[in-house]
Amino acid sequence: MDTKDIVESIKAGVSGIHIQGQDFARVDEEIEDIATQLQFKVKEWNLGYGWVDFKTKRALNPEKDVSLYEDLKAIADDDPTCKIYVIRNASAALNHNYKAGARLQQELLRINRHFKSQSAILLVSKESITFPDIVDLLDPYHCPPLSLYQVEKIFDSLLSEHSIHVSTIVRSSLVSIFSGMERDSIFRIFETLINSYEGAFPPQAVERALALKKKSLSRSGLLELVDSEVCIDQIGGLQQLKSWLRNKKYIMANLAEAERRGISAPKGVLLAGMPGCGKSMSAKAAASLFNVPLFRLDIGSLMGKFVGESEANMKAALKVAEHASPCVLWVDELEKAFSGINGSGGSTEITTRLFGYFLTWMQEKPGAVFVMATANDITNIPPELLRRGRFDEIFYVDLPSEGERSQIFNVKIKALKIKSSEINHSELAEATVGFSGADIECVINDALEDLFRNGKKVLSQDILKKHISLVTPISVVLVDKIKSYQKLFKSFSLKAASLGEKDLESINTKSDSQDSSERENAASNEFISPEKLKQLAKDVDSGVRMAAIKNPRCPVEALKEIVTAYKPFDFKNSGSWSDTLVTKEEFFQALQHPNMTGDLILNLYATKMINDEKLLSLAHKLSSEERKNTFNTAKVKLSRTIALATVQNIRCLPGDIVNCNDVLIEIDNEEGHTQRVTTSVNGLVAKICVKVGETINAGHEIAQLLVPKNQGNVN
């Protein structure tokens, strides 16, 4: 909320201001700022106590019954010169209170006529004010969710105030979670984190903060908060959609930096296509991938429950999503939500108005609300929603191909809590032509029930094939509808969520080519199968191997083979380097891969394949328990020879690797001379214990470093 604009409005003669928001402490501060700029006094009324002291909120007439109609006489009997009257809970107080509304109208008109620019009435409420007698006399202002810049300032101030240190990754994630929240909510979550983690916020603090945010947001009741544990790798097929979501994840995880570079937050995606083919599951997986809350917006339910108040509820629901940002807003069966647009009759007129508001919000929504909309019949979606600017992309989801059906069987069976014998996924895929993902899940569930009834404990190929024969797939049940959908989506030229069989076959063909450049091209393709990547990671050509190692999907099994096969070249022995041997560059590239595991790293360290410096650079890949077992904490303190000093500069951050004699901080000693405090060991900065401008004494702890245990402690 821009207080300067409100000040200018009052100076221009506006007698009524409506401030919509629920961040109470923040609204109070901004009202106080407005009063200071105008040099006005503030008087406050609320629905709980009537007239109160603005600063202490103490009731001025505690024995008197509260009535807005009666209490407005205080304004009529007062000289309003250089005064601001704040009316809290304004929407609730005016609800069906026509006498109070009429009296408030007269007071606004009186100020406008006789005390123009000298006074104003500020109505503060969580909801919008629609009272017809006064709405035209009010200038509306919103107290919007905190911007990323504001959140960063508040968060960094809290970190400094409480001497809490966090890594860059944890800080970025927490700032992203706090974005869009009210300041009081940020304070509450921050205090909870302080109570849980002393001195520093570990990576686990991100999950804790997200859980607290979800709990806070679940109280609204306007949106359904969906708890999703679906991982994107649990979705079989849909390669192009999953790749697109992974690219968006980088923006969602680094919103502050993206905004500084002029990159807007992602708007969302529309998934149109066959029922039971993973559209809803993709919405859940997107929230898990982005590590943000998932809300489900049921537009029809809002209309059904709040007859006559549908527009207000739509606005309130979308406000909740804005305050929750970054988040995923899932709008299921979009075509049903806005069916009957531009028709006639009461319900269709309401739907049309809702659609208009939703359309505008999609185009101009503040914050990072990523909309995941799903639809079966795209012909029933108003064309305005399909143009660029509403969604970043529109994907068509078809029935799964044979290769995708094989993946779905593999993913679903692997997730079961039951043993399975040798399962031929390819054979099952061949037997399920025309099956959707939901059909395949039905087959597996029926097979499990069969095992349970008959007291068996092992899932077999025969049992699965038996239940495949008993299921009638969606392509048969809705044969005419499916054909019309497929024809329709082709005519719309929508982007396919899945790669075609020919595209996948082309990638696999290139991976077996005699031409090393084609194999290298295949190894770098994000859609190549993990099995092919394992094969190419052992290729005779080093360029092909490197391309496979750099591929984000390179499986951990391939990485393990690379790092265990690496042998440093022994210059003492005669001979030359063979092209088939793992190179030093390949070895270090494999170590940096996102899929590299902590146990592999520690095994290489134990066998002296990596040194202390490399171990420190890979410390972020180790679990908390692995770090505890591998590192000691070295404390760097101010020398006893320096009695008193002032910190002038901090030259390192948590997460930085420092070597022996590297400068940690710069200080001014008692004589005013600048000195540098250095470390005597190699280590990873875990915590900075001082701040710029702080006065410290001899022996004061400056920093804590993680040091490999063979170096010991420094105190």
CA distance 501 to 238: 12
CA distance 41 to 568: 78
pLDDT band at 119 (very low <50, low <70, confident <90, very high): very high
Which pLDDT belongs to residue 712? 52
By the 8 A CB rule, do 644 and 697 touch? yes
Count CB neighbours of 164 within 10 A.
Answer: 19
| Strand segments (E) across 48-132 | 50-52, 83-87, 119-125
Q: Which two structure tokens, joined as six digits, stand for 504?
A: 């996948």
Mean pLDDT of the chain: 84
pLDDT higher than 80, residue 299: no
pLDDT higher than 80, residue 192: yes
Q: Where are the domains of the chain?
A: 3-142, 148-217, 226-397, 402-484, 518-596, 630-711
Q: Which fold has domain 630-711?
A: OB fold (Dihydrolipoamide Acetyltransferase, E2P) (2.40.50)
Which pLDDT belongs to residue 344? 44
User: What is the CA angle 647-650-651, rounded to 5?
Assistant: 145
pLDDT band at 78 (very low <50, low <70, confident <90, very high): very high
Print burial letters for 224-247: b (CB count within 10 Å at least 16), e (below 16): ebbebebebebbbbbbbbbebbee
Count CB neighbours of 161 within 10 A.
Answer: 10
pLDDT higher than 50, residue 132: yes
Write the pLDDT tens digit of every residue in 425-468: 889 989 999 898 899 999 999 999 998 898 888 888 889 999 99
pLDDT higher than 80, residue 692: yes
SS3 483: helix
Closest CA to 630 of 512, 710, 560: 710
Beta bridge partners of 113: none
Q: Residue length, the chain?
A: 715
371, 376, 380, 381 alpha-carbon torsion, rounded to 10°: 20
Which pLDDT belongs to residue 292? 84
Half-sphere exposure of 452 (CA within 13 A, CB side): 8
Cβ neighbors of 37 (< 8 A, separation 6 or more) are 3, 4, 7
Which pLDDT belongs to residue 413? 87
User: For the whole prediction, is pTM greater than 0.75?
Assistant: no
CATH 3.40.50.300 is held by the domain 226-397 = yes
Which pLDDT belongs to residue 307? 44
Place of tokens 């795209």: 378
CA distance 339 to 333: 10
Helix (H) or strand (E) holding 701: strand 701-708
145, 149, 152, 158 alpha-carbon torsion, rounded to 10°: -70
DSSP codes joined into one string, 177-222: HHTTS-HHHHHHHHHHHHHHSSSEE-THHHHHHHHHHHHHHTTS-S
Q: Which two structure tokens, joined as six digits, stand for 300?
A: 């029809």
Which pLDDT belongs to residue 548? 92
Q: Which two structure tokens, joined as six digits, stand for 266?
A: 């992602």
pLDDT band at 296 (very low <50, low <70, confident <90, very high): confident
* Assigned CATH for 3-142: 3.40.50.300
pLDDT band at 572 (very low <50, low <70, confident <90, very high): low
Strand arrangement, sheet containing 327-331 = 224-226, 294-296, 327-331, 369-375, 268-273, 393-397, 495-496
Write the pLDDT tens digit of every residue in 359-398: 888 887 877 889 998 888 777 777 777 777 788 898 988 8
Helix (H) or strand (E) holding 323: helix 310-324
Measured in degrees and rounded to the nearest 5, phi and psi for residue 674 equal -80, 130
Which pLDDT belongs to residue 345? 44
Burial of 574 (0-12, 13-18, 19+ CB in 10 A): exposed
* Assigned CATH for 148-217: 1.10.8
pLDDT band at 219 (very low <50, low <70, confident <90, very high): low
Which pLDDT belongs to residue 222? 63
Tell me if domain 148-217 and domain 226-397 are identical in fold: no
DSSP codes joined into one string, 552-598: TT--HHHHHHHHHH-----TTS-----TTSPPHHHHHHHHHSTT--H
Beta bridge partners of 121: 16, 85
SS3 535: helix
SS3 327: strand
CATH 1.10.3720.10 is held by the domain 402-484 = no
